Amino acid sequence: MKKIYFISTLFVAMILIGAVGSTEGAASERIEINIPDILGYKTLKCDFHLHTVFSDGNVWPGVRVDEAWLQGLDAISITDHIEYRPHKDDIVSDHNRSYEIARARAEQLSLILIKGSEITRDMPPGHLNAIFLKDSNPLDVEDWRDAIRIAHEQGALVFWNHPGWDRQAPGGIAVWYDEHTHLLEQGLMMGLEVANHVSYYPEAYQWAIDKNLAVLANSDSHQPMAHDFQPDKGEFRPYTLVFAEERSAEAIRKAMLDRRTAAVFQGKIMGDSRFLEAIFKESVTLEVSSVSIKGQGGTAVQVHNASDIDFRLVAGKSDCSLQVPGEITLSDGKTAVMGVRGTSDTMSGRKTVPISYGVETLLVGPGESLPVTLELEVEFIPLEQQ
């Protein structure tokens, strides 16, 4: 019965290749994710953890490419399990085959496809992804240390998958083991998933900060993506932002080695403050940067958000010369009105007023909002002045 179900799923997946992947008369349209390039880098959207029928997924490799292209991604890695292949009686092949099948379709769509595999072991060390592999087959060895060493010798990058996965972390709380310290000290692990599928691991995010590891968010999808996430309903897969010198696999690899990444999960971005601050500054502008206020009167300031990220702002300690909203939501691609008022009937003169907020959707640490400052040029007119 299980085999019949699997063959049916595979048949549906192959139909999807024809329906979604056809280059002739295709009606499907790509979603463009608008997150600005920053600091001289290209902002690339990536998912480095995906499965197909060549391990325990129910999707043909080419479908993974079509899904990623349609959902606005720039790069993916199909990381089928080395040790766990429940469909191996139905699909007999080596560990490179899913990449080889997907490569032609990725080239058609100009999607960057990175060869990867998942090293699937008990905790510790748990599950680890190796990406930028040259050949996945040599990783099929008994000792996980040998598998990691072989991947490293190929120039691959290794990161720790879903550290707080409840099957390997009691209560869903991630635990750092001596084995992870060994990998870190030997330069064999460069990052970890702070978000995976529908789970977020705040303790892993803190480890990434403390241990200078790249932060990653990936879908770890096994089913067709539409079964897991529905963008038209505001649901989107977790993905990793990579700030690369150019749009290429090698530039992505270099950026990850340099820890130039951020994790996008359920509308929030987690990462280093220099990257998050740059995203905010490139996205948000005051439509009018200079206003006049008479006495304790008020005025409206329009604030535009050019990105596809919603920014939720909570007021911090600001200049006492202005009263500002305690909270503002800057919705993606829209302009909001920020009402400001004077606090004195006698204040006069022109000054630049810093308005401080914390951005709750940009997290520079677990529960730690990015502080930002909007500067407004204000001419204060005393109430008695006509």
95-141 residue pLDDT tens: 999 999 999 999 999 999 999 999 999 999 999 999 999 999 999 99
pLDDT bracket for residue 90 (50, 70, 90): confident
Structural domains in the chain, CATH included, are: 2-271 (3.20.20.140), 284-381 (2.60.40.10)
pLDDT of residue 293 exceeding 60, the answer is: yes
pLDDT of residue 5 exceeding 50, the answer is: no
pTM, to two decimals? 0.90
317-348 residue pLDDT tens: 877 899 999 999 999 999 999 999 999 999 99
* Interior/surface letters 115-127, b for 16+ CB within 10 angstroms, e for the rest: bbbbbbbebebbb
Averaged pLDDT, 30-51? 97
The whole-number pLDDT of residue 233 equals: 80
pLDDT of residue 78 exceeding 50, the answer is: yes
Q: Bigger pLDDT: 93 or 36?
A: 36
The whole-number pLDDT of residue 232 equals: 77
In the predicted model, what is the mean pLDDT of the chain?
Answer: 91
Residue 248 and residue 157: Cα distance in Å, rounded? Answer: 16
pLDDT of residue 145 exceeding 70, the answer is: yes
Pairing of strands 127-131, 349-365: unpaired
189-232 residue pLDDT tens: 999 999 999 999 999 999 999 999 999 999 999 999 999 998 77
pLDDT of residue 4 exceeding 80, the answer is: no
- Is 328:338 a contact under the CB 8 Å cutoff? yes
Residues contacting 249, CB < 8 A, separation 6+? 75, 112, 114, 132
pLDDT of residue 10 exceeding 60, the answer is: no
163-185 residue pLDDT tens: 999 899 988 889 999 999 999 99
Q: Which amino acid is at 192?
A: L
Averaged pLDDT, 42-62? 97
Q: Bigger pLDDT: 88 or 77?
A: 77
pLDDT of residue 300 exceeding 90, the answer is: yes
- Is 106:73 a contact under the CB 8 Å cutoff? no
The whole-number pLDDT of residue 385 equals: 54
Which stretches does DSSP call E strand in the chain? 42-50, 75-78, 112-120, 127-131, 157-160, 191-196, 199-200, 214-218, 239-244, 261-265, 268-271, 284-286, 290-294, 298-305, 311-315, 322-323, 327-330, 335-342, 349-365, 368-381
pLDDT bracket for residue 235 (50, 70, 90): confident
